[in-house]
Amino acid sequence: MIPDPAATVRPRATSWAEVVRLRTLPAAVAPVILGGGAAAALGALSVPRTLLAAGVALALQIGCNLANDYSDGVRGTDDDRTGPPRLTASGRVAPRTVKLSAFGCFGVGGLLGLVLLSLSGQWWMLVPGVAAVAAAWFYTGGSHPYGYAGLGEIFVFIFFGLMATVGTLYVQGGLVPGWVWVSACGIGLIACSLLMVNNLRDIGTDPAAGKRTLAVRLGAGRARTAFTALVELPVLLAGVTLGWAHCADGPAGRGAPAAAVLLGTLIILSAMAWRATRTVVAGAVGRGLIPALRDAGLYELVYGVVVAAALVLVVRQR
């Protein structure tokens, strides 16, 4: 059998799972887990509302991935890429089908969001919700995609860091202590590291397609430094979060158990941060950076779970 030359240039995606990018989905719910943990620490946890928030986050993440597949595919950006194959660029699925699938995910996210707001009564949050959907589409969609201008990390930090974490708590407790914002910044930076390493992987091919990501603008060396900072700084922010939460609203008590929780948390997160950066620090390029993307996603999930659990322990110890 003679190989199809086009298949060599445009690798075919073997399933929708590759386009949805299942390995990124745990990271989508990590800030929701963190927000739910903060709610539990404050005695305001609502499991149904947390699950609805997780559903919204997953729907937006999947929709964003599909929209990215469609927009980059029709622009020709994915004709020559080092990452996993895409449906639109491979020609396996009609672009319109991929586009409608993205809009379908946005619709599901919107419906779940409306249910969540009806339970919480915080209808003003429709505004940031609509903004989140718009940000997911215009990352690579529209005539002037902001992802092509190197602004992707800013929007990821806002919507998949601050908004997802703080919003999850707010629709349950109606308030957001300062230490929650610190934790949201930490998980937002890790979310940015996922985008940074993804764009570092494609740094050799993106400029030819007019895609000037932050990694492209920084250059490979400084992009690796930025990625390392985005991964390591959240460890420090986790320590600040736990210390602030334990000491908030009056003198803290039972310091020894809280210190043990803090130490254990920092050890776990430091180990995960090292795991996430090792491939990048070693100088891997192209497809060799895919393990770093996987490890950064796992790190974000562990960060959400571990910091959420630690918050419950240190706040309830008061």
Domain count, the chain: 1
120: domain CATH number is 1.10.600
Residue numbers of the domain that contains 24: 5-316
Q: Give, for all 318 residues of the chain, the pLDDT tens digit.
A: 344 333 344 444 445 666 667 777 878 899 999 999 999 999 999 999 999 999 999 999 999 989 988 888 787 766 565 556 677 776 777 888 889 999 999 999 999 999 999 999 999 999 999 999 999 999 988 888 998 999 999 999 999 999 999 999 999 988 999 999 999 999 999 999 999 998 999 898 888 888 899 999 999 999 999 999 999 999 999 999 999 998 875 555 555 678 889 999 999 999 999 999 999 999 999 889 989 988 999 999 999 999 999 999 998 766
Give pLDDT tens digits for 68-83: 888 887 877 665 655 5
pTM over 0.75? The answer is yes
Those residues whose C-beta lies under 8 Å from the C-beta of residue 74, and which sit 6 or more positions away, are 88, 95
Torsion of CA 314, 268, 178, 59, to 10 degrees: -120
